Amino acid sequence: MATTTHEAGTSIGQYLIQRLQDYGIADVFGIPGDYVLSFYTMLEASPLNAIGCTREDCAGFAADAYARVRGMGALCVTYCVGGLSVCNSVAGAFAEKSPVVMITGSPGMRERIHNPLLHHMVRNFRTQYEVFEKLCIAGSELNDASTAFREIDRVLAACQRYKRPVYLELPRDMVHMTPDAPPPAAIAEPTSDQRALAEVVDEAARKIEQAKQPVLLLGVEVHRFGLQDLALQLAEQAGLPMAATMLGKGVVGEKHPLYMGLYEGALGREEVTRYVEASDCVVMLGTFMTDINLGIYTAELNIGDCIYATSEQLRVRHHHYHDVRLQDFLTGLTRRKWKRAHPQPPAPTDWQPEPYQMAAEDRIKITRLMRRLDEQLDDGTIVIADIGDALFASTELTTHGRTEFISPAYYTSMGFATPAALGAKIARPDARVVAIVGDGAFQMTGMELSTLVRRGLPVIVIVLNNGGYGTERLLHPGDYEFNEIHSWQYHKLPEVLGGGRGFEARTEGEFDAALTAAWNATEGPSLIHVHLDPSDCSRALDRLASMMSHTVVQK
């Protein structure tokens, strides 16, 4: 539990800044506006680093990626025109369990007398608050000095506990208000029901021990709650092969000898799918059963053979357990003296990336691009994949360490990758960050490249230019104008923005040279503009399109 000492004479704004630091936040993303200028002035004088972005939704995506890498993120925007612009980013953070603190200014309490029509207001003064009630796990309007400190503590504790975004609205005449109140009492950490914990650990362990082919299926919560070491300990002690969902890719290093690969139903590698679906005990840890994670519902998992453990529910077969923390459940399993009744059948864990031999004159294809990029990745690289074939093709990359693959693989909002690269690089300055983004997604938020230039951050952005929305072309075949977009000279944007380097690649040789030069660049961002054939796609996307086209297209 993050704690702080409370000093007399501390204002509401100062207390909020201190509490953000207590939770490990060192940077705040956003755009200032008149209702939040007073707090921004306080931010600038504080140890926190205010990162100005080009758009509010970009600030939200950056804070989301920062939270995924560092543990919690924050953004700060003005009232309504700023706040409502960030709805999509915050919604994505909620859907994918990313702990983001949204701070917004609002009209002062004294300004609201007689309900005047103040600029930025929609319907009434609580409209924005009510919108974010639906998008956040907790929230508060800090309009009462006597309760403000307690409310800040409550909301931040909820962000930490549930790993979802929270909302704090700070009226501008409350920023410097100094409460005349005692310091708030510490919020107690939730604890597990010990009897339920002992019972579920025993039942789960016995089921694993008696199973002929148990497997671990790791999901995103293993990362969000920092449970990678426990998951690996369980796998190694019990001899359990591991697979990951698409949203959980990179939760553990993919070169681990017990790691099989991604389980994606019929979308994934056939040998992994066969092994997982033949299991008589699938231990699903922190896994959310979304349509993408389930291979568009091509997964064939028998609920009677599953142990389903997340922060929100715990189930062994059809037995439900309540008030058991995921961490305590995993810890209990790692303390088990394992006595397996059957030897583990050989699992497809000896896979190797396809060897890459460059055909310099050949036109570059996305699968070959990923093979070349895979050769370049190391333990210090974070890959951020946008939606579409940027994601599906990237699933074939090998993640070396943990938390080094980021994508909105459940909420699937286009435009995530470029601003997320900013957030990830700020969170981990020592990391090499590579963003992979389609041309359609880049045109939505790509101008966040400007912030990368401004701060001299050596991020690599690979723009996959196939002249339109490639995924939708496959889902809805036909010569449709709505799937086409205007092609930019993306490689010239660094020149327009006054920093960084731009590269253009049509062949494997040109991409190899561009990637090598970009990898060695340290003075600012590099943008590699890759020309792809409009019909080119990854193997995963080709399989996905053949399944989804029957449901997407209404005959």
286 plus 420 within the same structural domain: no
Whether 543 has a pLDDT exceeding 80, the answer reads no
Whether 290 has a pLDDT exceeding 80, the answer reads no
- Number of neighbouring beta carbons within 10 Å of residue 178: 13
Task: State residue 295's pLDDT score.
Answer: 54
160 plus 206 within the same structural domain: no
Whether 192 has a pLDDT exceeding 60, the answer reads yes
Rounded Cα–Cα distance for residues 92 and 218 (Å): 21
Torsion angles phi and psi, residue 418, rounded to 5: -65, -50
Beta pairing, strands 314-316 & 319-321: antiparallel
The segment with the largest mean pLDDT, out of 90-104, 107-121, 286-300, 353-367, is 90-104
421 plus 327 within the same structural domain: no
pTM: 0.92
DSSP H or E stretch at residue 200 = helix 194-210
pLDDT digits (tens, 9 = 90+) for 447-467: 999 999 999 999 999 999 998
DSSP per-residue letters across 257-305:
TTEEEE-BTBTS-HHHHHHHHT-SEEEEES----TTTTTTTT----GGG
Confirm whether 244 is domain-assigned: yes
Amino acid at 510: E
Q: Edge to edge, what strands does the sheet with 405-406 contain?
A: 405-406, 381-385, 432-438, 460-465, 526-531, 501-505
- The domain boundary, picked from 156, 171, 186, lies at 171
Closest by CA to 324, choosing from 337, 308, 312, is 312
Task: State residue 300's pLDDT score.
Answer: 65
Range(s) of the domain holding residue 225 = 194-334
Q: What is the CATH number of the domain that holds 465?
A: 3.40.50.970
Residue 294's pLDDT band (cuts 50, 70, 90): low
Task: State residue 555's pLDDT score.
Answer: 41
Closest by CA to 492, choosing from 483, 503, 482, is 503
Average confidence (pLDDT) over 59-88: 95
Average confidence (pLDDT) over 154-167: 96
- CA distances (Å), 193 to each of 199, 200, 320, in order? 10, 11, 13
Number of domains in the chain: 3
* DSSP single-letter state for residue 307: E
Residue 59's pLDDT band (cuts 50, 70, 90): very high
Confirm whether 276 is domain-assigned: yes
Confirm whether 286 is domain-assigned: yes
DSSP per-residue letters across 341-361:
SSPPPP-S----PPP----TT
Average confidence (pLDDT) over 123-133: 86
Would you say 240 and 283 are in contact if contact means Cβ atoms under 8 Å apart? yes
pLDDT digits (tens, 9 = 90+) for 480-521: 778 788 999 999 999 999 999 999 999 999 999 999 999 999
107 plus 151 within the same structural domain: yes
Q: What is the CATH number of the domain that holds 259?
A: 3.40.50.1220
215 plus 317 within the same structural domain: yes
Confirm whether 342 is domain-assigned: no
Whether 445 has a pLDDT exceeding 90, the answer reads yes
127 plus 210 within the same structural domain: no
Amino acid at 511: F
pLDDT digits (tens, 9 = 90+) for 384-393: 999 989 999 9
On average, the pLDDT of the chain sits at 90
Amino acid at 204: A
Whether 354 has a pLDDT exceeding 60, the answer reads yes
Residue 544's pLDDT band (cuts 50, 70, 90): confident
Residue 109's pLDDT band (cuts 50, 70, 90): low
Helix (H, G, I), strand (E, B) or coil at 114: coil
Confirm whether 478 is domain-assigned: yes
Amino acid at 376: Q
Confirm whether 180 is domain-assigned: no
Q: Distance of alpha carbon 493 from its chain centroid, rounded?
A: 27
Torsion angles phi and psi, residue 547, rounded to 5: -85, -45
524 plus 478 within the same structural domain: yes
Closest by CA to 506, choosing from 322, 360, 334, 309, is 360
502 plus 535 within the same structural domain: yes
Task: State residue 264's pLDDT score.
Answer: 83
320 plus 455 within the same structural domain: no
Task: State residue 261's pLDDT score.
Answer: 92
Whether 370 has a pLDDT exceeding 50, the answer reads yes
Would you say 81 and 58 are in contact if contact means Cβ atoms under 8 Å apart? no
Residue 139 bridge partners (DSSP): 167
Rounded Cα–Cα distance for residues 125 and 117 (Å): 10
376 plus 267 within the same structural domain: no
118/55: higher pLDDT? 55
441 plus 301 within the same structural domain: no
DSSP H or E stretch at residue 382 = strand 381-385
Task: State residue 418's pLDDT score.
Answer: 98
Average confidence (pLDDT) over 147-161: 96
386 plus 320 within the same structural domain: no
Confirm whether 356 is domain-assigned: no
Whether 4 has a pLDDT exceeding 60, the answer reads no
pLDDT digits (tens, 9 = 90+) for 7-24: 668 999 999 999 999 999
* DSSP single-letter state for residue 47: S
Task: State residue 479's pLDDT score.
Answer: 77
Cα-Cα-Cα-Cα torsion 45, 50, 52, 53, nearest 10 degrees, comes to -160
Task: State residue 301's pLDDT score.
Answer: 73
Confirm whether 462 is domain-assigned: yes
